Chain A
């Protein structure tokens, strides 16, 4: 192995894993200490871009990650407002990555966290993710490239962090009303009404969350470390294939190790299985294809959903557009019933597997075709 391993990537991977286990212990859904796709989907829900009642909450982790990256980039003189690289294509790629992730039920980071939780379905997702990246690498080697970015006004690079902070402050101000509403519903108070401007889940994954400031701090720490180490789930596999460089993949492995050890220590690890896994399904074709879309799309974008948040924090307006694409993709995924769902489990003595809607299947096929079209039409002459 010719790789020079950056110790910071080991620290980052281990801390992300520990933070994920801790956030779950303090209230986040099982195997969902961190999930960039799920958390952006919850933000789309609380801001009423979709109306799925079980996935509506403003996840402070997302705000923390972007701010953490911004703080570290500013402190190290790496913050730079840049934009102008094929924005519409990045928007639609972000959209498709989100659709793929929600069919599978998790971003690449949650895929690893699910693996560490003993969910074998996530290993099928990993196979799809790797295949998607390999397809992307083939096109990169053939000369695929989105257009270059340029320096822009500082305000351009501040858009996503500022919008997220404003949303967080407004959500925090509305929190007493929101939490009272949730308590009223749980206590069966008749005529309970949410008078806050945000929607909030009273059941399901959106209702499960760690304390607000704990989640924010965890996000900040992950954002700071991921900016410094360039942690990226897609980059890990891409670098192995293209350069035989194992540095980034070690972060990926460290997340897995920390999560599995953490789950064992807390008594949450029940062995490996495909059945009855938290917020997961065992419809393997769609687990696989969902993650092919995520791997391929993220490879063309140059980074996984976590990396897009980090880049947006560094002042990259193109990544901010990608994140907004993911937000809209999440809204579409729930408004048009494209997203996956948990296996119903034991029904009448037999294990029932989740069945993806026809809309979801059609969306997955359309995403794969669109990725092929984007890949083929952006091959630059020099690389062909």
Chain B
């Protein structure tokens, strides 16, 4: 059984927003990865971005400055 870890999950309206987020975070040195959107968060099978909880403010600021839309930012165990 894999151990669950608390992560910051960012969900999006479109897959291109997810791709743009990954690229922007990578450029800023923020550690994270694209994952299939967790079922607990959404019935959609879209793409979401998982990062460390401590990076929430940085990511929020980054996405706002780059005008990248997102749906929600949630802290859950995945």
Contact = CB atoms under 8 A, between A and B. Distances in A.
A230 B39 contact: yes
B43 A245 contact: no
Contacts of A380: 14, 16, 20
Interface centre among B16, B34, B46 (most CB of A within 10 A): B16
B51 interface: no
Given A78-B43, A307-B45, A145 B35 contact: no
B64 interface: no
A383 B20 contact: yes
A242 B47 CA distance: 10
Interface stretch (A24-32, A45-53, A146-154): A146-154
B23 interface: yes
A146 B44 CA distance: 15
B75 interface: no
B49 to A, nearest CB: 11
Contacts of A307: 45
B36 to A, nearest CB: 5
B2 A148 contact: no
B9 to A, nearest CB: 13
A239 B13 contact: no
B5 to A, nearest CB: 11
A243 B19 contact: no
A66 interface: no
Contacts of A239: 36
**For the side of the interface on B, what is the size category?**
20 to 34
A121 interface: no
B45 A383 contact: no
Contacts of B34: 242-243
A232 interface: yes
A311 B15 CA distance: 17
A73 interface: yes
Best-buried of A227, A242, A248 by chain B (most CB within 10 Å): A242
B15 A230 contact: no
B38 to A, nearest CB: 10
B52 interface: no
Contacts of A4: 2
B20 A148 contact: no
Interface string A306-328: 01000100100000000000000
Contacts of A245: 35-36
B39 A141 contact: no
> Which residue among B15, B19, B24, B34 has the maximum number of chain A CB atoms within 10 Å of its CB?
B15
Interface string A228-261: 0110100100010011010110000000000000
A382 B45 contact: no
Contact of B45 (A85, A146, A149, A235): A235
Given A148-B13, A239-B36, 18 more contacts: A140-B19, A145-B14, A146-B14, A147-B14, A227-B43, A229-B39, A230-B45, A235-B36, A247-B36, A248-B45, A302-B46, A303-B45, A311-B44, A314-B43, A380-B16, A382-B16, A382-B20, A382-B68
28 contacts: A2-B2, A4-B2, A6-B39, A73-B43, A140-B19, A144-B16, A145-B15, A145-B17, A145-B19, A147-B14, A230-B43, A230-B45, A232-B45, A242-B34, A242-B47, A243-B33, A243-B35, A245-B36, A302-B15, A302-B45, A302-B46, A303-B45, A307-B45, A380-B14, A382-B20, A382-B66, A382-B68, A383-B23
Interface of B: 2, 13-17, 19-20, 23-24, 33-36, 39, 43-47, 66, 68-69
The list of the 6 closest CB pairs from A to B, nearest first, reads A145-B16, A382-B20, A148-B13, A383-B19, A380-B16, A145-B14
